[in-house]
Structure 1
């Protein structure tokens, strides 16, 4: 299973979204402080996050050190993809 993050802009104005493995996303959601910004339950229930919260999420992730074996590619690369998306999006929805 996976989680898709989709920018809230209109379809023709959106930045490219992200598809993340559940384990990758759930580890991000376990970062201390994330509980104040989004539901941390390990489900694929949809989230709707504002642009301001997405920016705060990005700041938490920037300071975070991924655990060993966190993603299928280099952890720093995946971390940077997530941070870049969160900083550039106009809020997001998960699917």
Structure 2
């Protein structure tokens, strides 16, 4: 199963979204302080996140070191690449919806 993050802009203006494996997304939700921004229950219930909260999420993720088993056990280089894509998305989206 995956979680899709989709920019809230209209389709012709939105930036590319992200699809993350559940385990990867749930690790992000487990970051200290994330519960103050979004519902951190490990479900696939949709989230609707504002631009401001997405920016705050990016800051938390930027300061976070992913666990070794994050991203289905890929190496640190892949972890940093995926983490970077997630941070870029959160900083540049106009808020997002998860599916």
Q: Which runs of 4+ in 1 moved over 6 A?
A: none
1:41-52 aligned within 5 A: 41-52=41-52
Give structure 2 stretches of 5+ with no counterpart.
none
Report 1:8-87 matches (<5 A).
8-72=8-72, 73=74, 74-87=78-91
Deviation digits for residues 7-34 of structure 1 (CA, Å, limit 9, x no counterpart): 0000100000000000000000000000
Distance 1:69 1:35 in 2: 22
Q: Which runs of 5+ in 1 are unaligned?
A: none
Q: CA deviation at 1:69?
A: 2.0
> C-alpha distance in 1, partners of 2:26/2:88?
18
- Return the TM-score normalized by structure 1: 0.98
